Amino acid sequence: GGGAGDSSDEEEEEHTITFDRYLRKDAEKCERLGQPRILNLGLVGEHHSLWGHKLWNASLVVADMVDAGEIDVTGKSVLELGSGAALPSCMAGICGSSCVVATDYAIDTD
């Protein structure tokens, strides 16, 4: 068929997952609070303009600021749009946010 919703003519795409690590700076704080020091983050393996294929510098800066308490998320709701690997959201959850929602472009699993 050739209808707009017909995907039989399209090639199936495989999505590989790669991993990156985020190392929190304050090892003593992590140990004292029983929190992880290293976060392993799943990334989409191939480049696509809409997907989290790398850990962006802005994500690292925001995560560092949340972890250091420069951005206080304690008891707050956090929404991260275009989150990719969702590192700031992960840090918000670890650092006491009451609710965290991370959104990004979904991989079609149909």
More confident residue, 74 or 49: 74
Spatial contact of 88 and 73, defined as CB atoms under 8 Å apart: no
Tell me the sheet residues that pair with 72. none
Q: Name the DSSP letter for residue 14.
A: P
Q: How confident is the model at residue 61 (pLDDT cuts 50, 70, 90)?
A: very high
DSSP string, 69-96: TSS--TT-EEEESS-TT-HHHHHHHHTT
79-96 pLDDT per residue, tens? 999 888 899 999 999 999
pLDDT of the residue at 55: 86
According to DSSP H, which parts of the chain are helical? 27-33, 57-68, 87-94
C-alpha 36/C-alpha 13 separation (Å) is 34
Q: Where are the domains of the chain?
A: 17-102
pLDDT digits (tens, 9 = 90+) for 7-48: 444 555 666 788 899 999 999 999 999 999 999 998 876 666
Q: pTM to 2 decimals?
A: 0.77
Q: Which of the following CATH numbers is that of domain 17-102: 3.90.550.10, 3.40.50.970, 3.40.50.150, 3.30.420.40?
A: 3.40.50.150
Kindly give, in sequence order, each residue whose CB lies less than 8 Å from that of residue 42, ignoring residues fewer than 6 positions away: 17, 18, 19, 85
